[in-house]
């Protein structure tokens, strides 16, 4: 398949069409679309839509101690530490940030009216929040049991805050702001005595400050599956999550610079290596905890995100080796769609309709693998149909 054959235009993917602006000047040319960003978003969503289940099933079928250790990488760490699956959500926020300069650069300078971009940003945040509450079950009207925060809520908030910040602050200011957020969050959790223990730097699951704030302030239900003593996407931890998104913004600014493609890739890889090393070093005094989104976690996850973006950019957009990325691009251009569809469409039931007889004849480990593959195939074909018909969920 030719490299360019499967690429929709940038307007079709990265942003909705711009509102008309009354001006006599010619609009500046839009930055070239980067297939690597769509592919990386798709790579990230692949694990959410069932790639994790397939990986775990393969590891169980393999059955060795090494396979069991590898399989743990596709589950969240219980509290402190870092595994591959802990990267998935921060990587998505990072990619959300990386796209912002491509769509809002012309508003940052003030040469184009910011009110249009601000209005569009507000609309997108509002629509994401609507989807978020639908996903969490607001339509049941059981507000006492509703989870008021979550993945889509955090995406909406982080996108909205990062977009507005980007329109008013230049690159150096963004970098300083990221550092200030990370240091400030460290000071907040490290210096404020935990209300229940009076201990400063209490990072325990049961009595940490962020969890206490969630229990006191968040309405609705704090679910045990979201660590029980607070929420994974709680209130205080959203502050450093904004920093994760701003790291993506800085990466997007770097990709828009006038440097050569090779230099951009090397810069991303070098920055990622430094961030990972700094995050693990910081983790010795400020533990790496995803549920609290600690500053060390931001650096480790942001560093790995930079490394992945650098690798994808180098292979896809510098070396032009794009054919393999089509599978992920199809997922990446409708990432929110498949996230919502997994809540609405009974893919498992559809899979069982076609494979139930086959699955019954197989051993449990093999049946788990075939079932996971079947679900992934159904979801990908659904997305491929949307891709072919140029149907993209706009938010």
Q: What is the pLDDT of residues 191-235, one digit of tens each?
A: 999 999 999 999 999 999 999 999 999 998 888 878 889 999 999
* Residue 67: closest CA among 75, 77, 56: 56
Q: What is the mean pLDDT of residues 40-49?
A: 97
pLDDT at 275: 98
Which of 59-73, 97-111, 248-262 is the least confident region?
97-111
Report the chain's mean pLDDT, rounded to a whole number: 91
> What average pLDDT does the segment 370-383 reach?
97
Quote the radius of gyration of the chain (alpha carbons, Å). 22
Span 34-53, mean pLDDT? Answer: 97
Between 26 and 347, whose confidence is greater?
A: 347
293 pLDDT tier (thresholds 50, 70, 90) = very high
pLDDT for 16 equals 37
What pLDDT digit, counting tens, does each position of 156-183 carry? 999 999 999 999 999 999 999 999 999 9
Q: What is the pTM of this model?
A: 0.91
Q: Residue 56 corresponds to which tokens in the numbers above?
A: 């775990």
Q: Kindly state the percentage of the chain with pLDDT values over 90.
A: 82
b/e string for 257-284 if b means 16 or more Cβ within 10 A? Answer: eeeeeeebbebbbebbeebbeebeebbe
What per-residue confidence (pLDDT) applies to 140?
87
pLDDT at 15 over 50: no
What pLDDT, on a 0 to 100 scale, did the predictor assign at position 361?
93
Burial class (CB in 10 A: 0-12, 13-18, 19+), 289: buried
* CA 320 – CA 323 distance, rounded (Å): 9
- Please compute the mean of the pLDDT values over residues 247-253 and round it to a whole number: 98
Is the model's pLDDT at 273 over the cut of 80?
yes
Assess whether pLDDT exceeds 80 at residue 27.
no
- pLDDT at site 243: 98
Q: How far, in Å, CA of 344 to CA of 177, rounded?
A: 39
Contact predicate 153/103, CB 8 Å: no
Q: In degrees rounded to 5, what are phi and psi of residue 81?
A: 125, -175
pLDDT over threshold 80, residue 9: no
Check residue 24 and give its pLDDT: 41
How far from 284 is each of 15, 57, 153, 194, CA to CA, in Å?
A: 41, 34, 31, 20
> Average pLDDT of 72-92?
97
- Stretch 348-371: mean pLDDT: 93
Overall size of the chain counted in residues: 395
Q: Which residue has the tokens 């400063």?
A: 200
Give residue limits of the domains in the chain. Answer: 10-388
pLDDT at 31: 63
């Amino acid at each position: 398949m030719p490299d360019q054959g499967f690429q929709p235009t940038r307007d079709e993917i990265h942003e909705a069409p711009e509102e008309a602006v009354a001006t006599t000047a010619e609009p500046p040319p839009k930055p070239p679309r980067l297939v690597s960003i769509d592919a990386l978003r798709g790579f990230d969503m692949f694990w959410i839509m069932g790639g994790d289940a397939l990986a775990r099933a393969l590891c169980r079928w393999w059955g060795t101690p090494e396979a069991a250790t590898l399989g743990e990488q596709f589950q969240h760490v219980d509290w402190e530490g870092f595994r591959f699956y802990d990267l998935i959500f921060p990587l998505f926020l990072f990619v959300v940030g990386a796209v912002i300069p491509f769509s809002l650069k012309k508003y940052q300078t003030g040469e184009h009216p910011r009110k249009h971009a601000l209005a569009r940003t507000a609309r997108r945040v509002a629509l994401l929040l609507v989807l978020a509450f639908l996903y969490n079950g607001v339509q049941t009207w059981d507000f006492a049991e509703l989870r008021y925060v979550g993945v889509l809520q955090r995406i909406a908030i982080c996108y909205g805050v990062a977009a507005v910040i980007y329109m008013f602050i230049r690159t150096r200011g963004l970098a300083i702001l990221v550092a200030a957020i990370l240091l400030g969050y460290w000071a907040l959790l490290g210096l404020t005595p935990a209300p229940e223990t009076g201990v400063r730097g209490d990072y325990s699951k049961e009595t940490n400050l962020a969890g206490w704030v969630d229990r006191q302030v968040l309405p609705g239900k704090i679910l045990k599956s979201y660590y029980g003593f607070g929420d994974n996407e709680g209130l205080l931890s959203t502050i450093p999550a904004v920093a994760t998104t701003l790291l993506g913004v800085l990466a997007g600014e770097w990709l828009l610079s006038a440097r050569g493609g090779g230099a951009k890739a090397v810069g991303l890889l070098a920055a990622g290596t430094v961030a990972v090393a700094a995050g693990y070093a910081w983790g010795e005094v400020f533990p790496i905890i995803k549920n609290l989104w600690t500053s060390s976690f931001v650096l480790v996850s942001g560093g790995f995100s930079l490394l992945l973006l650098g690798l994808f950019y180098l292979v896809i957009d510098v070396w032009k080796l794009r054919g393999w990325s089509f599978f992920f691009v199809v997922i990446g251009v409708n990432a929110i769609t498949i996230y919502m569809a997994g809540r609405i469409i009974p893919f498992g039931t559809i899979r069982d309709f076609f494979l139930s007889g086959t699955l019954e004849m197989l051993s449990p480990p093999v049946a788990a693998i075939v079932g996971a593959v079947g679900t992934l195939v159904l979801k990908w074909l659904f997305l491929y149909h949307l891709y072919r018909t140029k149907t993209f969920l706009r938010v």
